[in-house]
Amino acid sequence: MTAPEPRNVPELFLDRVGRTPDAEAFRYPVADGGWRSLTWDEAERRVRAFASGLRALGFAPGEVGAILSSTRIEWILSDFGILFAGGATTTIYPSSTAEECGYVLADSGAAFAFAENPEQVAKLVSRRAELPRLRHVVAFEGGGGADGWVIGLERLEALGREWDERHPGQFEEAAQAIPGDALATVIYTSGTTGTPKGVELTHACWVAQSAAVVESGILSDPGHLQLFWLPLAHSFGKMIGTAQLRIGFPTAVDGRIEKLVENLATVRPTFVCAVPRIFEKVRNKVLQNAREGGAVKAAVFRWAIELGLEARRLERGGGRPGGLLAMQRALADRLVFAKVRALFGGRLRFFVSGSAPLSRDVAEFFDAVGVLILEGYGLTESSAATHCNLPGRNRVGTVGPAFRGIEVRLADDGEVLMRGPWIMRGYRGLPEATGEALDAGGWLHTGDIGTLSPDGFLSITDRKKDLIKTSGGKFIAPTEIEARLKALSPLIAHALVHGDRRNYVSALLTLEPDAARAWAERHGLSSLAPEALAVHATLRARIQRDVDKLNGHLPRFATVKRFTILPRDFSEAEGELTASQKLKRKVVEQRYRALLDAMYAGEPA
């Protein structure tokens, strides 16, 4: 007799434990510098302690538990613990201010919160008077407070083990009692365009999406090992986590970005989820190393990349490199490509890229060296992924076909509309905003402008709200221009293209710190402060060449006529980037309004 289909995330989890109890589930770093593994059976025991500990402290089904932490094994266990206790998880980025934490906790009505360390606990303590519904804070690191409002993780698990012994069978019964339409997750949008909104996603969303990921075959090959480092506060992490329950591959978890390169070499994963900024930085670093290796090395590198691009263009067109091209490509692989692939541990089968558009130039660079990037697409409102390129069905420059179960169409103005079983049920407490995003037919209005090929491959060109209309009436997609400029110039870290209701297009540019430092040393300018380097004529002339190259491929009305180089990069800490490294356009434009206005002083250009 076939087992019934899981209806909720806890049932997905228990189904996986039952299928492969002794297989590795998670791997995480420990204090001595090594890694420790948890089997699915061991993970279940810890999740049982988390969930039972919450119930011992009075956490009730239907309540909300928050997690304020970087990506680590305790984040995952806490999430499952909240769900097994019948609650819903809301997520807070560790970079959030105390005020931002307070907003999410108050808006979600969180009854409990997990916090990573004393620094994060202090944020919650400072807002305690404003959060009467928040009954307990559980600290991953450090002990509890004198009055019991803050407790340590060891204490929670001890309470949980005691409670579970006194209430045999209730852990499993609680999982079975959760209906599919129950709230599982409240994820707050990054707020690039205003106050964050709580996106409500049900258990049925994650169950349906995980089944579609399995059916797509993207992770069907055996022997996969994932390295996961992205913020688990983002829907991307939740999506890949529920897919893991369906498929059973192990995941090495470590959110320390400064350890990413080291972890790739140590863990040697077969796939990694990432955001475009990582690929931009790796590509720029590889190009920088090639230039610094001397004229011969730089020439060999350029030859190899051009040859790789030519071979891949031929293959994408249905051809096959032969003769001289095949021999040259084999040589290029030995001299250049294999060394680039070795940076990722030597076993990588592919990256999955999401959260923001990936520049075609960057995608083609990695494609040329034999590093497969499968770009996908989705929103928080669609439980992350709705589209993804597949290992055997990949089209560079697109976000792939829709997963089975998702309907897609384009509005008259090109906006992407989607409908399906893992679209959000709405924004928490915001019926009007929900009505604007979800129409009467159940279609989610994504706010993204795109094109759809006859065989179903979606391409995203820009955000609807980001489109620029010049004073001459021409529409420009700034995100596309920004991505192309960053791909052209290893010196540029971020770009903001500006020109709405202006006579021409301008740009604010920031420098890639490592590349700029190396460039300054080569040109005898290493003694200059960042403020002086940003306005130096030699650097400006170098950037101008890249801008001119970009302009040569743009229609005249879209060309960047003027630009300003800023002395520092945009940052999440300064509120200019989201946690997934997307530009907060309105924040940046407001902050640098005087510089933008100065580029239009006296107009024409």
Q: How far apart are CA 277 and CA 546, in angstroms?
A: 19
Write down the pLDDT at residue 112: 97
Write down the pLDDT at residue 574: 86
**102, 143, 109: which is closest to 125 by C-alpha?**
102
Q: Is the CATH code 3.40.50.12780 the one for domain 274-346+349-464?
A: yes
Write down the pLDDT at residue 303: 92
SS (H, E, C) 585-605: HHHHHHHCHHHHHHCCCCCCC
Write down the pLDDT at residue 276: 84
| Tokens standing for residue 261 | 């390169």
Count the helix, strand and coil residues of the chain and give each as a percent rounded to the nearest 5.
45, 20, 35
Domain boundary assignment for the chain: 9-178+217-261, 274-346+349-464, 467-598
| Tokens standing for residue 46 | 């810890």
CB of 143 closer than 8 Å to CB of 118: no
**568, 154, 578, 586: which is closest to 379 by C-alpha?**
578
Q: How far apart are CA 494 and CA 508, in angstroms?
A: 8
| Tokens standing for residue 444 | 């989610």
Write down the pLDDT at residue 190: 67
The DSSP string of 450-516 is: EEE-TTS-EEEEEEGGG-EE-TTS-EE-HHHHHHHHHHH-TTEEEEEEE-TTSSSEEEEEEE-HHHH
The DSSP string of 387-448 is: EE-BTTB--TTS--PBPTT-EEEE-TTSEEEEESTTS--EETT-HHHHHHHB-TT--EEEEE
3-state class (DSSP) for residue 194: coil
The model's pLDDT over 429-465, given as tens digits with 9 standing for 90+, comes to 999 999 999 999 999 999 998 999 999 999 988 887 7
Residue found under tokens 């290029």:
332
Give the chain's residues under pLDDT 70: 1-3, 190-194, 580, 602-605
The model's pLDDT over 165-189, given as tens digits with 9 standing for 90+, comes to 999 999 999 999 999 999 999 999 8
Write down the pLDDT at residue 443: 96
| Tokens standing for residue 510 | 């920031």
Q: How far apart are CA 529 and CA 490, in angstroms?
A: 20
**310, 315, 330, 308: which is closest to 394 by C-alpha?**
315
Please state which CATH number belongs to domain 467-598: 3.30.300.30
Indicate the pTM of the whole model. Answer: 0.84
Q: For residue 391, what are the contacts with CB-CB under 8 A and spacing of at least 6?
A: 217, 218, 221, 349, 350, 372, 374
The model's pLDDT over 50-64, given as tens digits with 9 standing for 90+, comes to 999 999 999 999 999
Q: Do the two domains 9-178+217-261 and 274-346+349-464 of this chain adopt the same fold?
A: yes
How many whole angstroms from its chain centre is CA 373?
A: 14
3-state class (DSSP) for residue 286: helix
Q: How far apart are CA 600 and CA 588, in angstroms?
A: 17
Q: For residue 262, what are the contacts with CB-CB under 8 A and spacing of at least 6?
A: none
- Which of the four CATH numbers 1.10.10.350, 3.40.605.10, 3.40.50.12780, 3.40.190.10 does domain 9-178+217-261 have? 3.40.50.12780
Q: How far from each other are the two terminal CA atoms of the chain, in whole angstroms? A: 75
**Within 293-370, where are the H helices?**
295-316, 323-332, 338-342, 360-369
Q: Which sign, positive or negative, has the C-alpha torsion 128, 133, 134, 136? A: positive
Angle at 568 between CA 565 and CA 574, to 5 degrees: 125
Length of the chain: 605
Write down the pLDDT at residue 471: 73
Indicate the DSSP class of residue 558.
Answer: G
Write down the pLDDT at residue 104: 95
| Tokens standing for residue 133 | 């519904």
Sheet of 271-274: strand order equals: 35-39, 24-29, 251-253, 226-228, 271-274, 350-353, 373-379, 384-388
Indicate the DSSP class of residue 2.
Answer: P
